Amino acid sequence: MKKVFNLIEKKLYKPRSLIFCKDRTNHKERIIYNYLLFRLKQEKQDILKEKNEVEQIGYRYKGHYLKITFKELREHLNLTKKKDIIKMFDNLRQIDVNIQFLNESNLNIGRKDKTKFTAKLIGDIKEYNSEDGFFELTFSPIIVDLVIDTKDYTLLLIKDLIKFKSKYSLIIYEILKSSYVPHFNNNKPLKMSLYDFKSLLNVENYNISNLKQRVLNKAKIEIKKETNYSFEYKFLTGDVGKSFQYIELIFDTKNSIKNESFIENKKVKNLTQKELAFLIKNKLPQNLYIEQLNEEIKELQKALSIQTKKANQAIDELDSNYQENLELPIEDFDNFDYEELDNEVCF
């Protein structure tokens, strides 16, 4: 089946377990692998059909073959040389990753108390020199199941990912998107062990100074420039000693700045229902949460409470009326005069 791609709507639902796992991919390899995951998700129905057919005849499912053309990769990922793509595929084929199935509350990697699986990013590679020139790549059952079945994923847009020039910016952006949960009352930072964070970025040997200058500060600039997100960071010491053991990432969106400007210009007086809905929809963080907005919300809640009480009273009246007028002692159903009841009751 021929697939039609929309440049704007290429949405990658990336499993968080693949975001929070260490691999040795470089910048371009991570981008191309993200695109392959996107394409794999597109073939979910074909994959489910394959699995069902294999299992029905008593065999074990061994993975999926993904066909992708050189033209598609060139157009969507700005890749121009076929030999470079082949080299990246070969590098991906040699990478083993330890995948942990994370839950919402656990962002740590490398912990023995979590279920871990080892898998290759991709399996065998075949190149076909047809008119378009296409590749056939295999994906292991572990990767396939993660991509098509997981409920624990992060939504990423391919058009955003290809903007980054640095692998560090790309990884931090994925962490940001995976971990940023805008709250109405607060913007909760992400705290990770420094060891885990450096492991994800493959910079285990970097000291704090190198981590700041070569990774974090450059990523801050690029992410703020290329996306609607920004972040700050700080290092934290552990329970014992003065050495840094953790990093805390504080994420925000540019929309927060726009909201703040909106509030200052509006002076937060006489908010219309539409403006109030706008503020609630955009989930203002704590520093923009204001008393007037709180009062408006209380008024809405009060009105809703009154309507709820009226509805409950109406229900009670209906119920009472039913008990008094319609609960008839019917002992002999065969001789009961239903026609007479129909004449008495109007629906």
CATH number at residue 82: 1.10.10.10
pTM to 2 decimal places? 0.67
Per-residue pLDDT of 140-188, as tens digits, reads: 988 998 898 877 888 899 999 999 999 999 999 999 888 765 533 345 7
Report how many domains make up the chain: 2
Does residue 224 belong to any structural domain of this protein?
A: no
Does residue 138 belong to any structural domain of this protein?
A: yes
**Nearest CA to 168 among 123, 119, 231, 122?**
231
What range does the domain containing 85 cover?
7-162
Does residue 250 belong to any structural domain of this protein?
A: no
On the question of pLDDT at 201 being above 70, the answer is yes
Amino acid at 95: I
Does one domain contain both 155 and 11? yes
End-to-end CA distance of the chain: 55
On the question of pLDDT at 255 being above 90, the answer is no
The encoded tokens of residue 170 equal: 């790309």
Which range has the worst mean pLDDT, 4-13, 81-90, 253-262, 314-323?
253-262
Does one domain contain both 15 and 155? yes
Does residue 266 belong to any structural domain of this protein?
A: yes
Q: CA triplet 53, 54, 55: central angle to 5 degrees?
A: 95
- Within 10 A of 240 (CB to CB), how many other CB atoms are there? 7
Does one domain contain both 155 and 286? no
On the question of pLDDT at 253 being above 50, the answer is yes
- Of 137, 162, 187, the residue at which a domain comes to its end is 162
**Helix/strand/coil percentages in the chain, nearest 5:** 50, 15, 35
Q: Which helix (H) or strand (E) holds 261?
A: helix 254-266
Question: What is the percentage of the chain residues whose pLDDT exceeds 70?
Answer: 63
The encoded tokens of residue 75 equal: 């157009």
Per-residue pLDDT of 99-133, as tens digits, reads: 876 543 434 434 444 567 788 899 888 877 766 67
Alpha-carbon radius of gyration of the chain: 29
For residue 139, with 0-12 CB atoms within 10 Å meaning exposed, 13-18 middle and 19 or more buried, which class applies? buried
Does residue 193 belong to any structural domain of this protein?
A: no
Does residue 154 belong to any structural domain of this protein?
A: yes
Residue 285 vs residues 183, 229, 332: alpha-carbon distances, Å: 6, 14, 67
State the Cα–Cα distance between residues 10 and 12, nearest whole angstrom: 7
For residue 287, with 0-12 CB atoms within 10 Å meaning exposed, 13-18 middle and 19 or more buried, which class applies? exposed
The encoded tokens of residue 200 equal: 């994800």
Does one domain contain both 288 and 152? no
Average pLDDT, the chain: 75
Per-residue pLDDT of 318-340, as tens digits, reads: 666 555 555 444 444 455 454 55
Does residue 343 belong to any structural domain of this protein?
A: no
Does one domain contain both 146 and 273? no
Does residue 20 belong to any structural domain of this protein?
A: yes
Does one domain contain both 15 and 143? yes
Using an 8 Å Cβ cutoff, are 213 and 158 in contact? Answer: no
- Of 106, 128, 162, the residue at which a domain comes to its end is 162
Using an 8 Å Cβ cutoff, are 173 and 164 in contact? Answer: yes
Which range has the worst mean pLDDT, 22-36, 187-201, 301-315?
301-315
Does one domain contain both 146 and 16? yes
pLDDT attached to residue 41: 93
Does one domain contain both 11 and 158? yes
pLDDT attached to residue 263: 46
pLDDT attached to residue 250: 87
Does one domain contain both 11 and 153? yes
- Within 10 A of 59 (CB to CB), how many other CB atoms are there? 9
- Of 122, 137, 162, the residue at which a domain comes to its end is 162
